[in-house]
């Protein structure tokens, strides 16, 4: 896509939604002198920080309304990913002939640096962060952004053409893209998720596929050769790279014996033994290979790649070892918000764990996980709205309900400590398999609260 095609379709945008991505879009548009209007269904009193931020920008803010009247006098619409595209305002904008696209696409249109985008059901954050670490380790300027933390529009002005924007991309962001064409795009996996919003796997997969649809032969598409759902949905004209934990690939990254290997067109480079990775679990082996395939077009120095791989610790809230208390390990996997993430977490431990799970369900079926839960879980401690559904789905495993996360930690600790007597240390794993919104603001708050409760136990141990 040429630079001319990436120009904005007017000077009077409407930004819908005043959360993180909406505020970032408003800021970047206001910096360019556009006449920005922001609307949000919440009252200004409910969003005091956002209201102050918009007032400081000098943009027009409409609070408590998101009906079609807010489109009056607007040239185009920037849509926030937290608002479903089934909202009536989407239809009204399209009926009025107004271009409508996501904050992700706005960032793409304004960026001077190439975009490297990572999508998939599970592993996006770890892979995106590792790609950023590999690029940073080589000395090239890079910003990691998107669904992982900073909005894309927050980062676009910080990188010139010599830098990179490494972006975690969700299906929500892809509901409203039009021109997006990343230089490198990676698809990690596809399992049912967000079915409460997308309805079925076919729709969810079609949204992921949009990331690749406009790629041309000077772009790169990275595919999971081990995932038939991904391989069946390959799209676009980008040159293909692959990653696999099971077999050699023609171009990309794979396992060779006990080592990680990078497969270039002319040679295979053995990088380092898998045992030297700090990341835990087979799923993180796949994430590591995906990151290696993603950076292959950058031709990074092999020594810097080895150095980063051997030292990369992983992300907070993703199989994060918090502490050991009286021989019991506590692991924070709060970012596991779906069944697929919970599955790979359970497969990362040899001995059965005491599992804290539950929260707000997302239209998933928990029953297929019952055999794994039966093998991998010594006891369940269930929280949140989905507790009853999970207990029924996994009826063959002993379970306890907890009214709060603090109570769940205490109950799990007692069970794991009892199990640890005369045996190898037990593990308490927080891997909810559900969204957090019934009890917490987001998975990060849930993970931090879990760590606070573990530290409480740690302090009690120190005083004993």
To the question of whether residue 163 is assigned a binding role by annotation, the answer is no
Considering the segment(s) 105-311 as one domain, its CATH architecture is 3-Layer(aba) Sandwich (3.40)
- Where in the sequence of the chain do the CATH 3.40.50.720 domains occur? 10-98
To the question of whether residue 86 is assigned a binding role by annotation, the answer is no
Which DSSP string do the residues of 102-157 spell out, in sequence order? EHHHHHHHH-SSPEEEEE-SSSHHHHHHHHHHHHHHTT--EEEEETTSS-HHHHGG
224 catalytic per annotation? no
Asked whether 244 and 255 are in contact (CB, 8 A), the reply is yes
To the question of whether residue 268 is assigned a binding role by annotation, the answer is no
pLDDT exceeds cutoff 60 at 421: no
Give the helix, strand, coil percentages of the chain, each rounded to 5: 40, 20, 40
pLDDT digits (tens, 9 = 90+) for 325-368: 999 999 999 999 999 889 989 998 988 999 999 999 988 899 99
Longest dimension (CA), the chain: 73
How would you classify the pairing of strands 76-79 and 353-358? unpaired
CATH homologous superfamily for the domain 320-463: Mur ligase, C-terminal domain (3.90.190.20)
To the question of whether residue 73 is assigned a binding role by annotation, the answer is no
Q: Is it true that domain 10-98 has CATH number 3.40.50.720?
A: yes
pLDDT exceeds cutoff 80 at 275: yes
- Where in the sequence of the chain do the CATH 3.40.1190.10 domains occur? 105-311
Give the least confident one: 39-53, 296-310, 420-434: 420-434
Find the catalytic residue in 181, 194, 198, 451. 194
pLDDT exceeds cutoff 70 at 420: no
124 catalytic per annotation? yes
332 catalytic per annotation? no
Mean pLDDT for the chain? 93
Query: Averaged over 106-110, what is the pLDDT?
Result: 96
- Where in the sequence of the chain do the CATH 3.90.190.20 domains occur? 320-463
To the question of whether residue 458 is assigned a binding role by annotation, the answer is no
Of 292, 234, 236, 232, nearest to 260 (Cα)? 292
Which DSSP string do the residues of 10-29 spell out, in sequence order? -S-EEEE--SHHHHHHHHHH
C-beta pairs of 37-46 under 8 Å, 24+ apart in sequence: 37/12, 37/13, 37/61, 37/62, 37/70, 37/74, 38/14, 38/62, 39/14, 39/15, 39/63, 39/65, 39/66, 39/70, 40/16, 40/64, 40/66, 41/65, 41/66, 42/18
pLDDT at 147: 85
pLDDT digits (tens, 9 = 90+) for 16-25: 999 999 999 9
To the question of whether residue 120 is assigned a binding role by annotation, the answer is yes
């Amino acid at each position: 896509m040429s630079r001319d095609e990436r120009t904005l379709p007017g000077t009077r945008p409407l930004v819908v939604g005043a959360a993180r991505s909406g505020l970032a879009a408003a800021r970047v548009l206001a910096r360019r002198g556009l006449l920005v209007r922001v609307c949000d269904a919440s009252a200004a009193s409910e969003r005091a920080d956002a209201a102050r931020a918009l007032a400081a920008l000098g943009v027009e803010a409409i609070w408590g309304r998101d009906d079609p009247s807010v489109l009056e006098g607007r040239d185009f619409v920037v849509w926030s990913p937290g608002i479903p595209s089934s909202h009536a305002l989407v239809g009204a904008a399209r009926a009025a002939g107004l271009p409508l696209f996501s904050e992700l696409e706005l960032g793409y249109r304004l960026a001077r640096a190439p975009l490297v985008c990572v999508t998939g059901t599970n592993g996006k954050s770890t892979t995106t962060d590792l790609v950023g670490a590999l690029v940073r380790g080589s000395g090239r300027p890079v910003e990691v952004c998107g669904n992982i933390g900073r909005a894309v529009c927050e980062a676009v002005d910080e990188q010139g053409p010599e830098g990179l924007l490494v972006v975690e991309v969700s299906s929500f962001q892809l509901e409203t893209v039009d021109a997006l064409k990343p230089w490198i795009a990676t698809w990690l996996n596809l399992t049912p998720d967000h079915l409460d919003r997308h309805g079925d796997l076919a729709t969810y997969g079609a949204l992921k596929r949009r990331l690749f649809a406009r790629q041309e032969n000077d772009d790169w598409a990275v595919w999971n050769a081990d995932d038939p759902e991904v391989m069946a949905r390959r799209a676009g004209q980008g040159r293909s790279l692959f990653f696999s934990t099971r077999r050699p690939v023609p171009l990309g990254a794979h396992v060779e014996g006990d080592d990680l290997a990078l497969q270039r067109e002319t040679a295979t480079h053995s990088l380092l033994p898998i045992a030297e990775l700090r990341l835990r679990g087979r799923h993180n082996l796949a994430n590591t290979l995906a990151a290696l395939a993603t950076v292959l077009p950058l031709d990074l120095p092999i020594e810097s790649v080895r150095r980063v791989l051997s030292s990369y610790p992983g992300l907070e809230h993703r199989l994060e070892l918090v502490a050991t208390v009286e021989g019991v390990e506590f692991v924070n996997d709060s970012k596991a918000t779906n069944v697929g993430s919970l599955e790979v977490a359970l497969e990362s431990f040899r001995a059965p764990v005491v599992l804290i799970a539950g929260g707000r369900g997302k239209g998933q079926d928990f029953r297929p996980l019952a055999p794994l839960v039966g093998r991998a879980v010594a006891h369940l401690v269930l929280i949140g709205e989905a507790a009853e559904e999970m207990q029924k789905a996994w009826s063959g495993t002993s379970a306890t309900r907890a009214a709060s996360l603090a109570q769940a930690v205490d109950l799990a600790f007692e069970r794991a400590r009892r199990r640890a007597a005369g045996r190898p240390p037990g593990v308490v794993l927080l891997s909810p398999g559900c969204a957090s919104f019934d009890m917490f603001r987001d998975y990060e708050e849930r993970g931090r609260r879990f760590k606070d409760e573990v530290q409480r136990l740690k302090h009690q141990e120190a005083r004993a």
